[in-house]
Amino acid sequence: MYDFFEPPRAAPRPTVWEVGALCRAVADALQARFNPVTVRGEISGFSRAGSGHCYFSIKDAQGQIRCAMFRRAALQMDFTPRDGELVELRGKLGVYEQRGDLQLIVDSLQRAGQGAWFEQFLRLKAQLQAEGLFDAERKRRLPAMPRGIGLVTSPGAAALHDVVTALRRRVPHIPVVLAPALVQGAQAPQSLREALVQLYRMAEEPGAGPAIDVILLVRGGGSMEDLWAFNDEQLARLIVQSPVPLISGVGHETDFTIADFCADLRAPTPTAAAELVSLPRDSWLAELAQRAQRLQAAAQRHLDRHQQRLDHATQRLGRPSGQLARNQLLLARSAQRLRHAVQLRLQQQGHRLEQRGQQLPQGLLRALEGQQRRLERAALRLELLDPRHALQRGYALLTDAQGHAVTRVAQARPGDRLRASLSDGDIDLAVTQPRLL
Model pTM score: 0.46
- According to DSSP, the residues that pair with 219 across neighbouring strands are 250
- According to DSSP, the residues that pair with 92 across neighbouring strands are 105
- DSSP, collapsed to helix, strand or coil, labels residue 383 as helix
Q: Which CATH class is domain 146-279?
A: alpha beta
Question: What is the residue extent of each domain of the chain?
Answer: 19-113, 146-279, 281-316, 389-430
Going by C-alpha positions, the residue among 249, 292, 285 that lies closest to residue 170 is 285
Measured from the Cβ of residue 331, the count of other Cβ atoms closer than 10 Å reads 10
CB of 358 within 8 A of CB of 364?
A: no
Give the fold, CATH level 3, of 19-113: OB fold (Dihydrolipoamide Acetyltransferase, E2P) (2.40.50)
User: Which residues, including other chains, have CB under 8 Å from residue 233's CB and lie 6 or more apart?
Assistant: 124, 128, 258
Mean pLDDT by 10 residues, the chain (437 residues): 50 66 68 76 87 89 87 85 81 77 85 66 92 93 91 92 92 92 93 95 79 93 82 96 95 86 94 88 71 78 76 64 64 76 75 61 69 77 66 75 78 80 80 74
Please tell me the distance from the alpha carbon of residue 330 to that of residue 341, in angstroms, as a whole number: 16
Going by C-alpha positions, the residue among 237, 256, 259, 238 that lies closest to residue 248 is 259
- According to DSSP, the residues that pair with 66 across neighbouring strands are 57, 103
CB of 413 within 8 A of CB of 431?
A: yes
Report DSSP letters for 262-318, one per residue.
HSSEE-SSHHHHHHHT---HHHHHHHHHHHHHHHHHHHHHHHHHHHHHHHHHHHHTS
Please tell me the distance from the alpha carbon of residue 34 to that of residue 144, in angstroms, as a whole number: 35
CB of 210 within 8 A of CB of 202?
A: yes
CB of 250 within 8 A of CB of 230?
A: yes
Q: CA torsion 207→208→209→210, rounded to 10°?
A: -60
User: CA separation (Å) from 251 to 110, 307, 321, 374, 434?
Assistant: 16, 63, 87, 123, 165
Q: What is the DSSP letter of 91?
A: E
